[in-house]
Amino acid sequence: MSYRMACEHADEIAGIVSLAGGTWTDGSRCKPSSSVAVLQVHGDMDTIIKYEGGLFAKGLSPYPSARETVAQWARNEGCTGLLADTGTPLDLDDGVMGAETKVERYAGCPGPAVELWTLRGSGHFPELPSSWGTMIYKFLQANPKP
C-alpha cells in the first residue's frame, strides 16, 4: 500500500517506509508526479513476501524482489549511482543476534533517498525494537518534501 500511495499521491507525501512490502513488477504502472523518499525494510528469510520476489497469491500478479523494488524507485528518482552498503549496520530484529540489518542507499540521487534495509536472517514478522519508530522518523525527517 505504501508504494501505491507513493505512485498515486506523490504530490502529497514526502516519503514512504515499506516493511516487507511489494510493488508491481511492471514499473510503468507507477509514474509519480514528484519525488518521494523510499525506504524498503525486508527480511531476507521472509516466506510470505519473499525477498527474492514471487507471487502475492496463486493466480495473482507477481511482485519484484526487494532489490528490484528499490531499483525501480531509484530510476523514478533519477539516481545515477549504484545501491551501495553504507557500512553502518543496524540491530532491527531483537529475535536475531547482533546488528543484522544491512543498510544500502542509492548514490547520485538528485532528490530524496532511496534505501534498502535488509534484515539478514529475519522473516516476515521481525521483533522490532522500541527504537524502531525513532529510526524510521529519522529517515523521513532527513528527506522532507522540497
Quick check: is 26 in a domain? no
Q: What pLDDT was estimated at residue 80?
A: 96
pLDDT digits (tens, 9 = 90+) for 23-58: 888 889 999 999 999 999 999 999 999 999 998 777
* Cβ 16 vs Cβ 94: under 8 Å: no
Q: Which domain holds residue 64?
A: 2-21+34-141
Domain count, the chain: 1
pTM, to two decimals: 0.95
* Bridge partner residues of 50 (DSSP): none
Q: Per the structure block, which three cell numbers stand in for 12? A: 502529497
For 66-120, give the DSSP string: HHHHHHHHHHHHT--S-EEE-S--B---TTSSS--EEEEEESS-SSS-EEEEEET
* Cβ 118 vs Cβ 102: under 8 Å: yes
Quick check: is 59 in a domain? yes
Nearest 5°: CA angle at 50, between 71 and 29? 45
Quick check: is 80 in a domain? yes
Quick check: is 29 in a domain? no
Nearest 5°: CA angle at 17, between 124 and 72? 95
Measured distance CA(14)–CA(73) in Å, rounded: 14
Quick check: is 27 in a domain? no
pLDDT digits (tens, 9 = 90+) for 63-108: 999 999 999 999 999 999 999 999 999 999 999 999 999 999 999 9
pLDDT-based confidence at 112, cuts 50/70/90? very high
127: Cβ–Cβ under 8 A, 6 or more apart, which residues? 93, 94, 95
Residue 118's φ and ψ, nearest 5 degrees, are -95, 115
